[in-house]
Amino acid sequence: MYLPETMVSLPFILLLFAVLQAPSSSLHSKSGDREELLQFKEGLSDPLGSLSSWNSSNADFCRWAGVTCSRRHPGRVVSLSLPSRDLGGTISPAIGNLTSLRKLDLRSNMFYGEVPHTIGRLHRLRELVIQNCSLDGEIPQELGNCSNLMGLNLTINQLKGRIPDALGSASRLQYLSLGYNNLVGGIPPSIGNLSSLVILTLYQNNMDGTIPEVLSHLNHLQRIQVARNNFSGTIPPLFFNISSLQRLGFGSNKLQGSIPPDAGANLPILKELHLGNNRLSGMLPSSLANATNIQVLSVARNRFQGRVPPEIGKLCPPRVELGGNRLEARNDEDWEFLRSFTNCSRLQLIDLTGNNFGGMLPGYVANFSRQLQWLGMGENQMSGVIPPGIGNLVNLIYLEFAGNNLQGVIPEEIGRLQNLKSLMLQENRLSGQIPSSLGNLTQMLTLALSYNQLDGSIPKSLGNLERLTSLNLSSNRLTGGIPGEIFTLSSLTDFLSLSGNYLSGVLPPQAGSLKHVAHLDISRNNLSGNIPEALGDCENLVYLTLDGNFLTGGIPRSLGNLKALSILNLTRNAFSSSIPRELGKITGLQQLYLAHNNLSGSIPLILGNLSALIELDISYNHLDGEVPSSGVFSNLTGLSILANDGLCGGIPELRLPSCHVKPHNKQRQLSLMILLPVVLIVTSLLLLCSVLFLFKGKITVGKMKIPSLYKIDEKYPRVSYNELFHATDGFAPANLIGGGKYGSVFKGNLSLSASENDATVAIKVFNFHQSGSFRSFMAELEVLRQVKHRNLINIITSCSSIDSRGNDFHALVFKFMPNYSLDKWLHPGADEQWHKLSLVQLLNIAVQVADALDYLHNNSQPSIIHCDLKPSNIMLGSDWTAYVADFGISKLVGESMDRYMSSSGNSVVIRGTIGYVAPEYGESGQVSAAGDSYSFGITLLEMFTGRAPTDDMFTKGLSLHLFAEMAFPDKISEIVDPTLVQPFDNDARLDTALACITSALRVGISCSKKAPLERMSMKNAAVELHRTRDSLLEEYFV
């Protein structure tokens, strides 16, 4: 019996489909996502060998590093997790073919380029984390297709453009973190569709517009952080009705309007309220007291006015930031909120500075919790006295009552505050003497007592403040001599100001010990005698003002050694003799005031060559001779030469008499006729000898085995001396950006190819006069041609030629680093308004430098020892990427450099930098990787303590290593740079930050041990620092 045809074909087709499908499934289980993974790996740099198991010979790709496969569907990758592996390159679009992927974690690597649009194909993806890389471009719209996405973290990159509207389609999204990028535009209203959103972080971008009201409908939101943008308009009131909120961060924007009266009524679990640095106004609502779990109340630097509700004081948050508003207090009732704070045992910070608080300073400020670390009440209108009981607040780090009307004396009891680092009492009406007990405050960094009515002498005990960086006692009624102990405070880096007092006596020779201070002002006193020659040793001085004294003698020639000097004011003294021409060596000098003295002689012509000099006042002296016509002398605006009757010439606008030139008599003409031929003959003979000598030198050099200096980057042509000369405006001082023993570094604009515009480059010119400079040039060139790592300085090309005078000319051309060196950021000058680097930035730099040294030691062929690592040899790119530079004394292990130096006859002497060089280098001269570990360890300690190893506090056996080792681990908070922990605004985050700093210092201490065999290797140091940085990022930015 035959069945109908249709009944035969259907089962047969189903059976055939199953048979054909089985081999296919089996085949896929064997190959699976393997090809996609190999495509992802292709083109990536992998200095740590993290992907060494990813190869075609290892068939079981599910066991490859970072890969997790599905149990239900063998061969399908469900998780790719490769955090902190130092992987570099672009992320392959092939990643979008891993269609079973649920988790993609590539955080803390060196990826650059765009986020692949193909990730939008990953419909099963739940978590995408690519934070702390160098990604640029825009966020792909296609990410909105990831319908199962629950977490998206792209913080700390260089992403630009707008947040795509399409992200609002990822309806299951619970956290969205896009902070620390370059995003622009507004927040898309579509984000309001993400009803499951718990965390929204857009911190520190360039976004603007208003805060969409629809975001206030996100009823599950726990943390919103959109600070440090340019948002304007008002805060939607319904945000204060989201009962799940724990952190509300709208600080540092341009927001206006007021806080709703019932703002705190519906925020039962709010812990942090950050509204500071905006334009908010109105009254502070008393309803905030209902947010009983709040730990941080930050509304500083707004336009709030009126009295502070007394209920706020009962809230007892550990941190209260109300400074920079228009808040008022006139009587005891208005101060009631402050009285309530005396019952707060957790109180750590009170900032009331810059308001309109008046009346008497309440005496009960001395009754605050002993846990209080920060008390700021400056820039108000308070009167009364500083209560002696303030000395009971033994944990105070910062105390400010500046800019009030306080009277009375400075309490001796302040000397009990052993942890105090800043005491700001300036601009009051305090009287009496400076308490000698202040000399007990050995942790003090800043002491400001200026603009008061203090009298008596300066206590010698202030010489005990060995960590002091700024001392300002100006505009008081102080008398007597300046204690020599003050000038032994080599820790002074910012300023020492004693101006506007009645100090007498002479400037002691110890003044030359202030080698790090930038601003020295002792003007308007009664000092006499000479300026000590030793003052010329203060090489970091930027401002030197000694005007309005009775100083005598000549102006020391040693002042010409002050290369960093910008302003020199010596007016209204009794200086005699001539103006030293050595002042013309201060190339950065902008203002020079020498008026009202007894100076004589002519004006040094070299002053006209100071291109930076814009103001010169030499009036009311006894100068004579011709006035120069160049530089500052060519412009009446910045020049004053009044009351110098002997001056002549100059530009016509000065209306000075002409300078008379004596006519030549016949006898002189006859002498010239005889002498001139003789001089010409002698000069010719000397010139001939010089040419022969140089020619002989060229032959000698020519016999050396110098490798051909091929261009490093094939797309750039070799450059000539003339090109570099024009690129730097003739190697002008204005383009000088650095220098060292073997040469100088200039900034220049150079055309690198015919198709490109001029590029900004750094040009390192080697000093042919300095012995060893050619060896340094060849060593650096050889090293940089052999290595390639993302965190090593990138050389573009080189030049080996003859300059305009016929001398050897050698130069290396690098990409210009707009953020200069790490040293500039660790120790900025007083005139450099550079912010301090954040903890995250420092950890990133530490990781990158460790990776670079690990590569040199373990992954370069041959291995390379840097030999001179220090902050000034760590350059920072525009994206804050760190680059190790200056390989002039590096050593290639296992490969002799003698072939570049055979003619010199001298062996290579390895020299590092004092403070950073390993101790054994001075004993045996034998270099090793452990020597680099030592230098790195010292650099690491410097980064996190803010103390250089050459700081003058490190004497009598105390070193930076020992300083950190003695504090480790229980007293780390006492030695850490305080600016690193200030941004961490609650206990938990502060603890995390201190834990990370402790871990970093542990690495620094381990690397800088005296015995080479006991030091941590750079490979292990890199691993530890990666772990430390990632723990901070996970806590703070996720």
For the domain that residue 598 is a member of, what is the CATH number? 3.80.10.10
Residues 6+ apart with CB under 8 A from 20: none
What angle is formed at CA 585 by the lines to CA 498 and CA 740, rounded to 5 degrees? 95
Q: Are 551 and 522 in contact (CB under 8 A)?
A: no
Q: Kindly indicate the confidence band of residue 670, based on its pLDDT and cuts at 50, 70 and 90.
A: very low
Q: Report which DSSP code applies to 732.
A: -
Q: Kindly indicate the confidence band of residue 902, based on its pLDDT and cuts at 50, 70 and 90.
A: very low
Structure tokens at 182: 């370059």
In degrees to the nearest 10, what's the CA dihedral of 199, 203, 209, 214?
10
Q: In 187-324, which ranges are E strands?
A: 199-201, 208-210, 223-225, 230-234, 247-249, 254-256, 272-274, 281-282, 296-298, 303-307, 319-321
Q: What is the C-alpha to C-alpha distance for residues 308 and 327, in angstroms, rounded to an integer?
A: 7
* Number of independent structural domains in the chain: 4
Residue 95 has phi, psi (to 5 degrees) of: -60, -30
829 in the same domain as 787 = no
Q: What is the C-alpha to C-alpha distance for residues 340 and 361, in angstroms, rounded to an integer?
A: 15
Q: What is the C-alpha to C-alpha distance for residues 1033 and 1038, in angstroms, rounded to an integer?
A: 7
Q: Kindly indicate the confidence band of residue 885, based on its pLDDT and cuts at 50, 70 and 90.
A: confident
Higher-scoring residue by pLDDT: 771, 109: 109
pLDDT of 610-635, one tens digit each? Answer: 888 989 999 999 999 999 988 889 88
Compute the average pLDDT of residues 288-295. Answer: 92
Helix (H) or strand (E) holding 778: helix 773-786
Do the annotations mark residue 815 as ligand-binding? no
Residue 157 has phi, psi (to 5 degrees) of: -135, -160
Q: What is the C-alpha to C-alpha distance for residues 354 and 371, in angstroms, rounded to an integer?
A: 24
pLDDT of 348-368, one tens digit each? Answer: 999 999 999 999 999 999 999
Q: Are 109 and 84 in contact (CB under 8 A)?
A: yes
Note the maximum CA span of the chain. 149
Confidence (pLDDT) at 727:
86
Q: Would residue 530 count as lying in a domain?
A: no
Q: Would residue 622 count as lying in a domain?
A: yes
197 in the same domain as 125 = yes
Q: Would residue 7 count as lying in a domain?
A: no
What angle is formed at CA 346 by the lines to CA 343 and CA 350, rounded to 5 degrees? 80
Q: What is the C-alpha to C-alpha distance for residues 493 and 469, in angstroms, rounded to an integer?
A: 5
Least confident of 642-651, 879-888, 1005-1014: 879-888
638 in the same domain as 600 = yes
Sheet holding 230-234, edge to edge: 208-210, 230-234, 254-256
Query: Which residues partner with 298 through β-bridges?
Result: 274, 321
Structure tokens at 56: 């075609």
The end-to-end CA distance of the chain, in Å, is: 72
Q: What is the mean pLDDT of the chain?
A: 84
161 in the same domain as 87 = yes
652 in the same domain as 797 = no
Q: What is the C-alpha to C-alpha distance for residues 98 and 509, in angstroms, rounded to an integer?
A: 74
In this structure, the strands spanning 874-876 and 882-884 are: antiparallel
Closest by Cα among 607, 537, 615 to 578: 607
Q: What is the CA radius of gyration of the chain?
A: 35
pLDDT of 184-236, one tens digit each? Answer: 999 999 999 999 999 999 998 999 999 999 999 999 999 999 998 999 999 99
Least confident of 260-264, 265-269, 621-625, 798-802: 798-802
786 in the same domain as 840 = no
Q: What is the C-alpha to C-alpha distance for residues 242 and 626, in angstroms, rounded to an integer?
A: 79
CA atoms within 13 A on the CB side of 454: 30
CA–chain centroid gap for 390, Å, is: 35
Structure tokens at 739: 């220098």
Q: What is the C-alpha to C-alpha distance for residues 440 and 417, in angstroms, rounded to an integer?
A: 8
Q: What is the C-alpha to C-alpha distance for residues 198 and 195, in angstroms, rounded to an integer?
A: 9
Query: Which residues partner with 113 through β-bridges?
Result: 135
782 in the same domain as 851 = no
Q: What is the C-alpha to C-alpha distance for residues 76 and 11, in angstroms, rounded to an integer?
A: 31
**Over 90: is that where the pLDDT of 753 sits?**
no
CA atoms within 13 A on the CB side of 434: 26
Residues 6+ apart with CB under 8 A from 526: 502, 503, 504, 549, 550
**Over 80: is that where the pLDDT of 916 sits?**
yes
Q: What is the C-alpha to C-alpha distance for residues 450 and 519, in angstroms, rounded to an integer?
A: 15
Query: Which residues partner with 764 through β-bridges?
Result: 745, 812
Compute the average pLDDT of residues 925-952. Answer: 89
Instruction: Write the CA distances from 251 to 255, 274, 298, 857, integer angstroms.
Output: 9, 5, 9, 45
Q: What is the C-alpha to C-alpha distance for residues 317 and 296, in angstroms, rounded to an integer?
A: 6
3-state secondary structure of 233: strand
pLDDT of 537-560, one tens digit each? Answer: 998 899 999 999 999 999 999 999
Least confident of 674-683, 708-717, 753-762: 708-717
Residues 6+ apart with CB under 8 A from 700: 903
Q: Would residue 331 count as lying in a domain?
A: no
Q: What is the C-alpha to C-alpha distance for residues 361 and 344, in angstroms, rounded to an integer?
A: 19
866 in the same domain as 796 = no
Confidence (pLDDT) at 829:
66
Would you name the residues annotated as active-site residues? 868
824 in the same domain as 808 = no
Determine if the peptide bond prior to 140 is cis (ω within 30°). Answer: no
Q: Are 891 and 932 in contact (CB under 8 A)?
A: no
Q: Would residue 485 count as lying in a domain?
A: no
Least confident of 343-352, 376-385, 752-761, 811-820: 752-761
Least confident of 180-194, 491-505, 629-643, 687-701: 687-701
Q: What is the C-alpha to C-alpha distance for residues 627 and 644, in angstroms, rounded to an integer?
A: 11
Using the 3D structure, point to which of 658, 684, 712 is the last residue of a domain.
Answer: 658
Q: Would residue 366 count as lying in a domain?
A: no
37: containing domain: 28-238
1016 in the same domain as 992 = yes
3-state secondary structure of 252: coil
Q: What is the C-alpha to C-alpha distance for residues 659 and 601, in angstroms, rounded to an integer?
A: 15
Q: Would residue 942 count as lying in a domain?
A: yes
Query: Which residues partner with 350 through β-bridges?
Result: 320, 375
Domain with residue 876: its CATH number is: 1.10.510.10
Domain with residue 772: its CATH number is: 3.30.200.20
Q: Report which DSSP code applies to 775.
A: H
Q: Kindly indicate the confidence band of residue 300, based on its pLDDT and cuts at 50, 70 and 90.
A: very high
Using the 3D structure, point to which of 797, 816, 835 is the last residue of a domain.
Answer: 816
**Over 50: is that where the pLDDT of 9 sits?**
no
Q: What is the C-alpha to C-alpha distance for residues 13 and 18, in angstroms, rounded to an integer?
A: 9
**In the block, residue with structure tokens 């992987």:** 87
Structure tokens at 662: 């004596």
Structure tokens at 166: 């399409």
Q: Kindly indicate the confidence band of residue 883, based on its pLDDT and cuts at 50, 70 and 90.
A: very high
Confidence (pLDDT) at 25:
37
1005 in the same domain as 856 = yes
869 in the same domain as 883 = yes
Structure tokens at 361: 């300073």
Residues 6+ apart with CB under 8 A from 871: 821, 822, 823, 826, 939, 942, 943
Q: Would residue 906 count as lying in a domain?
A: yes
Using the 3D structure, point to which of 608, 630, 658 is the last residue of a domain.
Answer: 658
Quick one: 182 exposed, middle or buried, by C-beta within 10 A (0-12, 13-18, 19+)?
middle
Helix (H) or strand (E) holding 639: strand 639-640
Higher-scoring residue by pLDDT: 450, 721: 450
Q: What is the C-alpha to C-alpha distance for residues 976 and 593, in angstroms, rounded to an integer?
A: 41
**Over 70: is that where the pLDDT of 12 sits?**
no
Structure tokens at 729: 């405006």
**In the block, residue with structure tokens 């797309």:** 715
